Structure 1
Amino acid sequence: MSPFDQHQPAAKPLTVLIVAYLFPPLAGGGIPRVQKLVKYLNRMGVHTIVLTVEPPPGMVEDPTLLNDIPAHTPISRVPLPRWMNAFLGLWRRRSESESGKQDGTHSVDAKLHETAQEHGQARSLNMKQGQTDQRNTVFRKGPQKLKQSVQKIVGHALNWLRARIFVPDDEVVWVRGAVRAGMRVIERYPVDLIFSSSGPLSNHLVARSLKRKTHLPWVADFRDPWTENMHRTSIRWRLALEKRMEKSVFEEADAITTVTESFAQDFKRLYPARDVHVIYNGFDPEDFMELEGSPPNAPLTFAYTGILYGKRHPRYFFQALKRLIDDGMIRPDDVRLEVAGVLDYPGRSENRDALIALGLETVVRDHGFLPHREALALLKTSHVLVVFGDQEATAGRYIPGKLFEYMAIGRPILGLLKPGEASRIIEQFALGVHADPSDVDEIEEALRHIVTLYRSGALLKDIAHCSSKDRLSANERLCANERLSADERFTSEACLALEDRLRRFRRDVQAEAFYALFQSVVGAKQR
């Protein structure tokens, strides 16, 4: 029995105010958790009201994401101060190439520097297989050295200021206006509960202020750690201030949720008196219905959707691939890596430089940012889906959100991940292979295994349907990835067993878990 079955809607529908700086049409890795929650809570009869930002200039947008949001959903969009828009626009174009993370500013994962249109989102998708595009595969050396030097100096100066002015993140300047807007919402609507999801962490500061003013119950959701984040600040006074902020959130929130067991254990160690509920990130089965396409016979196509930066880069993957080419195992023309997102930020060229140095310029096609549906289609037409994980020793505590969408696509996964929850998921569900992202030898071994399967025609042999229906659910497609014995041969019983094991990764089921928690928190407050 699901949590939703146990907690049927009361006579008075639950009304939830959701505080989420990142919300469609903004696009990026931090968007789907709240986007899908709003979608499915409304289907359960919950009234949702969203408090978010007026999309700042320069951030990536995908208006198609709004298709998930019911038209009747009230959305209060709060603009940033004009001076902040100017500051962030300058910083993004000059220094976000370093990901904004080494200074501990907790830059949100969707805070990206250009719109999809500016990045040439469809350039290489319009090409025929095997055709090269000078704009994508022949990498230019970029801006002149003097311009690059000036950009780096300005970027370092802006990062220095950001790290000391904007605590806990850039979005703190949104807090005051968001609190005022939130109070207007609460005065107008019969809000039963406040829900905030970070990053940015400033979302929790908005929710904390609203709770203090209204005494409404509050659930705080953490997609990443706060003071124990692997990108936390190295500035001691700032870290001490953020620890006080974090402590107040954990003391004042009525419930805490997070996305991995590792995060939950860390939070419980810091705050042993608090229960921490784990509700994973996941995939929306409806996103994958009627998604057509299959990989080409050649070349062997890898795909990655997301951003790459200093501590998450593909250069060891390139080195390992170069070894296979030098050994004659595969030719450059017979392999391709499709990247949808950021290969190198403006002003940076380490990844392109590595390709040139290794003679692999024609191997990578950089699509820039793609609308979500187009990105899924790119994955669907690839042989192997790559997860480039961070190379920090503690990165194994994180589960990249894209892993769950890769699951639903039904293609083998190459996880370049530190040992941890994500690599265990790949093993548990036999989704593919994984290797340490900073170990060229391990990556080479994984690539040799993949190329051997590809050349023998066995790479996709386990991708089969559990049903003959024309429209398969994402879970039925996932059944195809389970390595079953010859006797089982994808029987309906085996598929149902796998579907049951994967339910916790479905967005609709996760929304049920949130709904049950919200009902419990509101009920406890009323008693």
Structure 2
Amino acid sequence: MSRKKVLIITYYWPPAGGPGVQRWLKFVKYLPEFNIEPIVYIPENANYPLTDSSLIDEVSPDIKIIKQPIKEPYKLAGLLSKKSSKTISKGIISESKTQSIVEKLMLYVRGNFFIPDARKNWVSPSVRFLYSFLLEQKIETIITTGPPHSLHLIGLKLKEKLGVKWLADFRDPWTTIGYHKQLKLTRKSKQKHLDLERQVLNTADQIIVTSFVTKKEFERLTPKPIEVITNGFDSEATKEVKLNSDFSIAHIGSLLSKRNPELLWKVLAELIEEVDGFAEVFKLKFIGAVSEDVLKLIDDNNLSDYVDKIGYVSHKEAIEYQKKSQILLLIEIDSEETKCIIPGKLFEYMVSNRPIVSIGPKDSDVEKIIKETNTGSYFYYEDSKLLKTAILSYYKAFQDKTLKSHPIGLQKYHRRALTESLSKLL
């Protein structure tokens, strides 16, 4: 029986680093096991904000990858301000009151001249190229994954021209994602985003989302079938690591300005003052980009001496940091819009055998998953007493050398199981 060919249109692909690349890298890895041949379409010269060359080794030489050039406005913006261009492309947007004139201008241009996003100019050349390619290769099914949501416009046009079966995968929401409010959109631009989002949702044959909250949100916009396929974890081949000897609380990934839990910094400052021996062993580790606003608030709470700022590391090294840290930190902005966000790292946290301390909005998907899998503790922004009690109990378990998590039911989040769910839609 011949394998079904499927074209996957994605912006993020090795050597891109960060969370955006993992989802389809892993789907592509496992799809051949379910009699599906993935063909991957990517930009030839993408200006990735983060790179991780170690991920190139995960791409099988048997996978067909096709590339077309892309014009990246962030390269041009870098001539105006290299720092602002790089941080905005990473999704790090500082508070309005601390933004420079250059940053405000760049956000306005990004929001109103590049709809739906800065990769919009790749749409037309991609449609021209893929129109012929799909006909030649006799491919009848395509998948687009966003962000960048401009890639869904490639799917939209190919669906209109060729009538292919089209699955639109949303790793994040579109118009309700947190940073949209910071893009200084005009009323006309906001409406254009809403119109494009509705058009994509009502034209695709199948919508895939990574969270249950996003599914509910999209169900109000389209009658098309929507399937939740979360991100997950893979069987990572990492070397054996030794647990940190200090009481390390580690955050892996970007910690943006809005994700700045003052209650946590205050609780940690109190524990340093009140608990004998805590100050001697406590470490706060940041693996990834950290906003200046976060570091300032940490300093205001006299915690700077306890901070170990490691910066961005490869995915393999990030997994090692997860396994050797005593506690893993997961922070989300306290808002209605962020209830749907399930960071990819949550699933890797869950299989690290380390307890998770998560702070976020009430009734979020993260809260649901952490409670269901028994992988840690979840707190709301008004829960400072509960948070303090939990960290103190973790500290006592650390002293007794009994600190670890006790997960249940994780196998459904393995990348192979998730790919099986995807294969059924195909």
TM-score for both structures, normalised by structure 1: 0.74
Shift, 1:444, TM fit = 2.5
Partner of 2:229: 279
C-alpha contact 1:60 1:111 (8 A) present in aligned 2 = no
Q: Which runs of 5+ in 1 are unaligned?
A: 1-10, 101-106, 114-147, 464-480, 483-497, 519-527
Per-residue CA distance 1:421-465 (angstroms, 9 max, x = gap)? 2112212221111212465444333322322322333323xx6xx
> Which string of whole-angstrom CA distances, capped at 9 and with x for unpartnered residues, describes residues 339-373 of structure 1?
111112xxxx2222233333322211111111111
Do the aligned residues in 2 keep the contact of 1:58 with 1:112 (CA within 8 Å)?
no
Q: Give the CA deviation at 1:58.
A: 5.8
For residues 112 and 328 of structure 1, what CA distance do their matches in structure 2 show? 35
Does structure 2 conserve the Cα–Cα contact (< 8 Å) formed by 1:255 and 1:275?
yes
Task: State the shift of 1:508 in Å.
Answer: 0.7
Whether 1:251 aligns to 2:202 is yes
- What residue is the counterpart of 2:294 in the other structure? 351
Identify which of 11, 18, 21 aligns with 2:8.
18
The counterpart of 2:106, out of the listed 158, 162, 165, is: 158
Of the three residues 355, 374, 392, the one matched with 1:430 is 374
What does 1:333-412 correspond to in 2, within 5 Å? 333-344=280-291, 349-412=292-355
1:269 aligns with 2:220: yes
Q: Distance in 1 between matches of 2:74 and 2:337?
A: 33
Distance 2:119 2:78 in 1: 10
Verify the 8 A CA contact 2:233 2:351 in the aligned structure 1. yes
User: Following superposition of structure 1 onto structure 2, how do residues 196-207 of structure 1 map, counting pairs within 5 Å?
Assistant: 196-207=144-155
- Which one is further off, 35-44 or 390-399? 390-399
Instruction: Judge conservation of contact 2:47–2:74 (CA < 8 Å) in 1.
Output: no
Distance 1:377 1:255, change over 3 A: same
1:68 & 1:208 partners in 2: Cα distance? Answer: 30
- Give the conservation status (yes or no) of the 8 Å contact 2:141–2:166: yes
Which residue among 367, 373, 398 is the counterpart of 1:454?
398
Percent identity, aligned pairs only, is 26
Amino acid of the structure 2 residue aligned with 1:62: D
Structure possessing the higher radius of gyration over alpha carbons: 1
**Superposition deviation, residue 277 in structure 1:** 0.8
**Contact conserved, 1:76 with 1:181, CA < 8 A, in 2?**
no
Structure 1 partner of 2:191: 240
In structure 2, what is the equivalent of residue 64 of structure 1? 54
Aligned positions of 1:91-490 closer than 5 A: 93-94=83-84, 97=87, 100=88, 152-233=100-181, 235-271=186-222, 273-285=223-235, 287=236, 289-296=237-244, 298-344=245-291, 349-419=292-362, 420-437=364-381, 439-460=383-404, 481-482=406-407
Q: CA RMSD in A?
A: 2.5
Which amino acid in the other structure matches residue 244 of structure 1?
D
1: CA distance, partners of 2:48 / 2:197: 29
Contact 1:340 1:367 in 2 (8 A): yes
Q: TM-score, normalised by structure 2?
A: 0.91
- Say if 1:231 and 1:111 are closer, same or farther in 2 by CA, change over 3 A: closer
Describe the SS at the equivalent of 1:228. Answer: coil
Give the match for residue 471 of structure 1: none
Residues 439-448 or 300-309, more deviating: 439-448
Distance 2:122 2:79 in 1: 15
Amino acid at match of 2:206: A
Shift of 1:276: 0.8
- Contact kept, 8 Å, 2:214 with 2:340, in 1: the verdict is yes
Q: Give 3-state SS (helix, strand or coil) of 1:308's partner.
A: coil
CA distance in 2, matches of 1:516, 1:397: 24
d(CA) in 2 for partners of 1:394, 1:439 = 20
Residue 515 in 1 paired to residue 386 in 2? no
Compute the displacement of 1:180 (Å). Answer: 2.7
CA distance in 2, matches of 1:154, 1:366: 27
Alpha-carbon distance, 1:194 to partner: 0.5
Cα distance, 1:26 vs. partner? 0.4
